[in-house]
Structure 1
Amino acid sequence: MFDDMEASNTLMNEYKDIDHGQDIDFTAKVITKLFWPISEVKMCILPSSVENAFKRFKEFYKHKHPARVLTLNPCLGFADVKATFYKKAEGSNSLKEETKILTVSTYIMCILMRFNEADTLTYKQLLEDTQVPDRDLKRALMSMTMGKQAQRILSRVGTSRKIEDADVFSVNDTFSSKLDRIRIQIVSAKAGESEPGRKETYSKVDDDRKHEYEAAVVRVMKSRRKLFHNELITEVTKQLQPRFMPDPIVIKKRIESLMERKYLKRDENDSRVYRYIAGPPWP
């Protein structure tokens, strides 16, 4: 895994040295699917500028590695989007531009970029135009339409607490923030969601995090080779804290699962110690 990251950084440096015509600052982390416990997800429709940037990088990569196949995972990406809001100037009918940098997920980037083409879009239109999975699209839109009016990136017109196909969305020009750079967090559960739907959302989050837990354990153990149980819990917690607050009980369960699949084993002389062993390919 560490070899992957080092090779990826070298690859991107080589690419940026020869590609100076990008209209966006594109960076990719190239990892080997065999060694990373990451689930495959359905690809969404990227904005044309992003799609073109990826195609240029893909051609560069294919020239260096003709036998390999390069794919994008939209669940792992993020983007800095320059957003301009047009506010009415005080005492005048003229419009004043206010620009913010929004740090968002790939899915939210795809949604926001659609508003360069239209002032208003229905949920159904966004679903068709972006091909973001229904559940993820609703979570992304809720993240941008919740809270006080001045805190919403998008305005929503709808008759239900839940997002429906006919709901209409537009850029909220009354959005206001003292910060120049704002991170948009994805909500963990949908507002107004039924109990079965909420459980389904929690289950998806837990399933996604299961892979993050296991990836963190493998990264630590591959680097350290041998660790006491408490040391491993501490190291994994440090790695995951920037993304979410990890649960030590869940870490323990994922360690046990990795041992069952022959990625780790207990030391023969001390059951409190784990040793890293070369496991089978990730499914």
Structure 2
Amino acid sequence: MRAARPRKRFGQNFLEDGAIVSRIESAVAPRTDDRVVEIGPGRGALTEALVSSGCYLDAIELDRDLTAGLLAAFSIYPRFKLHSADALEFDYAALLNDGRNGERDERLRVVGNLPYNISTPLIFRLLENTAIIEDMHFMLQLEVVKRLAAQPGGGDWGRLGIMAQYHCYVEHLFDVPPSAFNPPPKVQSAIVRLTPWRHSPYPAVDVETLRSTVQAAFAQRRKTLRNNLKGIATDAQLKDLDIDPGARAETLQLTDFIAIANQLHD
């Protein structure tokens, strides 16, 4: 398709390495009747690989300078549809009821080279929709992928990883060098797969209570739970759960946060 100049305000870095595109396609492995949503198709490098599989492909692109080229390149595919929209505001559930495949789809498969400047809020937005999502494959900054896949005890463990792992099984698939993009970003990138739990390994919890508890616990990372959860949970409540009020949030397991949220909700 027609080359378009990357735009800073959209955080654009276009993927151009064919070998990386092939690895992503293999990781996604789109099937003929899959309902795939591509966020930020850019110049269409991955779009071509996806739509050629025969899947139903809904591409969401905000930059109007790119939409004409995408339409020119991919309108020949009857299962391709372009949405000129903001992925942060998009109604993903509406795609399940538009009848494009003759019946109601069960779940979506989401793919995207996410702009660095919206990646975290967009992931949180999609985590709100995991009931209708089969899986998600994203190109992200390596540091974001490390946070998503982090384990307790280190600086990467925090709100993003806790909420992602509560909703999904997280896999750091492979890293992508800056040379794979135009223009090359100043950071390393990586591919991550998020697969929403169909049978969650975690106890039932009010998600909003968990979200607010985790946010408060990490409000100031160097402070203890006693300080960050003041007015939310007492020392006695934490001790009842065998959690040290003098510990920092980064030392707690996901199950510890769930236990606190369950107690607060009850």
Structure holding more helix per residue:
1
TM-score bin, normalised by smaller chain: under 0.3
Q: Which has the larger radius of gyration?
A: 1
TM-score (norm 1): 0.21
